[in-house]
Amino acid sequence: MDLIPRPGRATTREGGFFELGPDTKVLAGEGTEAADRWLRATLGAATGLPLAPGSGEDDVLRLSLDGELDAEGYRLAVVPSGVHLAGGGPAGLFWGAQTLRQLLGPDAFRRAPIPGRQWRLPLTEVEDAPRFRWRGLMLDVARHFMPKDGVLRYLDLMAAHKLNVLHFHLTDDQGWRVEIERYPKLTGTGSWRARTKFGHRASPLWEEKPHGGHYTQDDIREIVAYAAERHITVVPEIDLPGHSQAAIAAYPELGNTDVVDTAGLTVWDTWGISPNVLAPTDRTLRFYEGVFEELLGLFPSEFIHVGGDECPKEQWRQSPAAQARIKELGLADEDELQSWFIKHFDRWLTARGRRLIGWDEILEGGLAAGAAVSSWRGYAGGVAAARAGHDVVMCPEQQVYLDHRQDAGPDEPVPIGYVRTLEDVYRFEPVPPELTPEEAGHVLGPQANVWTEVMESPARVDYQVFPRLAAFAEVAWSDLPAPAERDFAGFERRMAAHYRRLDALGVAYRPPGGPLPWQRRPGVLGRPIDGRPPNK
């Protein structure tokens, strides 16, 4: 059956089949409306079949809920008279519908029917449920803007892989991407930069062309609703107090005005970590409370991401105002000032019924009980957080940073970072063995992160993300054995079918042999590159 991610249990009976045809009726039980809509819209488009509502026992696609199953679990049975799909809840039913689509063959992933296709299903039984409840993808739309249509497409690609959290990195030094009505300059000024760096760090070049764009609040409402229909939660990130130069370029009073002439700052046009960080003033806090107030109205997600990573402290060391603030607050140093920022928003979000999540730097200084951590600098932050009773999303850069190169060969398009092969991702284990079962319960799940410094177009994003996201999805969903025991060869065999699905979806993945296979030199495959990469 070549299903990806691999289901918990699946059996096929030889010989018989059920064929979806023009008379196939959908029997949609109570609570199955969303899956019914999705099936009609998506499989209806691909097959050209009406999939009309109906009744009876024969030639039916029956949808129901079964409280005995996990909320995200499902049971799928293909019998000679039709398909019976039961979900533990609407989400489980939806994931089951994704499996049904895979069983129908690659052309079920197109948006219009190819003439002459048949929609035969082998007699099959699948029983399945996810290992983790957080199966995340972080998309950085700040470094390079992804127009709304591309985000909706990625939500569809996530759904096809049973992923259920989009961590939406909306702001950074190089751009602010979400409309905030009370601060129009955040997008008016902050969403465009004059030029963009490319090339290697040793010999940088600039593309002298403005780059930018943003989502209106209605765009965000549409994205959130489109995601919700697919049982995907969108977790927005507003990065603070570092990675904030675009906001400071728009509102110079947010910066450390006694150290730099922030009125002269522009949206950043290079990569790395900007030294221009937020000033630790009440005005800054009130400003960002205003940002988060609007954000809470747009994003129903329990978690709100406040960044907190990579905040250089040099300006605070030099700023008399920041130093006075440290004294006034009774803090030891600039590190505690960073913690003060995070704790403020931790309290602020908790008081509004939400939970803060931030990059693992936020652990340095203590957190409120409900706060969670995205462990990116390896496992250590996640282990410390879980031991302290905090929930954790495991996204270590050593395994699941999909901006990093996929191969050591000379023909990777923009070979930044270290080598993270398809197999490396497949052997990623989200739960470190040193955690006790109780601590391990704090691991919400894994997340793959897509930073877009060198991904200026959707095609470049596709190339970096696929096929590795398919391996990641299996790690996030399936009950795989320990990394060394995983059947990577079997996964690769199933990938042969999955590449045909990705083809039908129009995904510009990295070809299995690399982009220019005739240049491949045996021996360099998969060999790690030593030293810091040239472009990160």
Among 59, 258, 309, 492, binds ligand ACM (CB under 6 A): 309
Beta partners for 122? 17
CA distances, 78 to each of 11, 71, 453 (Å): 10, 21, 45
168 is a site residue for ligand ACM (CB under 6 A): no
User: Which residues in the 374-403 window bind ligand ACM by CB under 6 A?
Assistant: 376
Angstrom distance (rounded) from CA 292 to CA 239: 11
Q: Is 172 a catalytic residue?
A: yes
**Cβ nearer to ligand ACM, comparing 83 with 393:** 393
In the DSSP assignment, the letter for residue 178 is B
Contact partners, residue 506, CB within 8 Å, separation at least 6: none
Q: Which is nearer to ligand ACM, 310 or 429 (CB)?
A: 310
Among 310, 336, 423, 456, binds ligand ACM (CB under 6 A): 310
Closest CA to 7 of 500, 473, 525, 370: 473
**Is the alpha carbon torsion for 423, 425, 429, 432 positive or negative?**
positive
308 Cβ contact partners less than 8 Å away, ≥ 6 residues apart: 239, 240, 241, 242, 338, 341, 342, 358, 359, 361, 362
CB of 309 to ligand ACM, least distance (A): 4
Q: CB under 8 Å to 110, separation ≥6 — which residues?
A: 45, 46, 504
Residue closest to ligand ACM, measured at CB: 309
By CB under 6 A, the residues from 321 to 360 that bind ligand ACM are 359
Among 302, 347, 307, which residue's Cα sits nearest to residue 444? 302
φ/ψ (deg, to 5) at 423: -70, -40
Q: How far is the CB of 201 from ligand ACM (least distance, A)?
A: 17
- Which residue in the list 107, 294, 310, 364 is annotated as catalytic? 310
Least distance from ligand ACM to the Cβ atom of residue 359, Å: 4
Q: Smallest distance from the beta carbon of 376 to ligand ACM, in angstroms? A: 4
Q: Closest CB to ligand ACM among 89 and 358? A: 358
Catalytic status, residue 487:
no
Min. distance of Cβ 362 from ligand ACM in angstroms? 11
Nearest approach, Cβ of residue 354 and ligand ACM (Å): 21
Q: Which is nearer to ligand ACM, 222 or 310 (CB)?
A: 310
Is the Cβ of residue 156 or residue 309 nearer to ligand ACM in the bound state? 309
Close Cβ partners of 85 (under 8 Å, ≥ 6 residues apart)? 35, 61, 62, 63, 64, 74, 75, 76, 77, 93, 96, 97, 100
**Cβ 358 to ligand ACM, closest distance in Å?**
9
3-state secondary structure 12-50: EEEEEEEEECCCCEEEECCCCHHHHHHHHHHHHHHHCCC
CA-closest candidate to residue 421, choices 435, 404, 407: 407
Find the catalytic residue in 36, 140, 172, 179. Answer: 172
Tell me how far apart the alpha carbons of residues 357 and 348 are, in angstroms, rounded to a whole number. 13
Question: In the complex, what is the shortest distance from the CB of residue 434 to ligand ACM, in angstroms, rounded to a whole number?
Answer: 23
Q: How far apart are CA 190 and CA 251, in angstroms?
A: 9
Contact 243, 307 (CB under 8 A): yes
Is 310 a residue of the active site? yes
Choose the catalytic residue: 144, 211, 231, 243. 243
**Whole-Å CA distances, 230 to 92, 304, 467, 501, 507:** 11, 20, 21, 19, 19
Q: Scanning residues 180 to 219, which ones bind ligand ACM (CB under 6 A)?
A: none
| Closer of 358 and 445 to ligand ACM (Cβ) | 358
Judge whether 444 and 459 are in contact, CB under 8 Å.
no
Which sign, positive or negative, has the C-alpha torsion 257, 259, 262, 268?
A: negative
Instruction: Scan residues 464-523 and list those touching ligand ACM (CB under 6 A).
Output: none
Question: Please, which residue, 95 or 401, has the CB nearer to ligand ACM?
Answer: 401
* Total number of residues that touch ligand ACM (CB under 6 A): 4
Q: In angstroms, give the least distance from the CB of 140 to ligand ACM.
A: 9
Peptide bond into 280 cis (omega under 30): no
Question: Where along the sequence are the contacts to ligand ACM (CB under 6 A)?
Answer: 309-310, 359, 376
Catalytic residues: 172, 243, 310
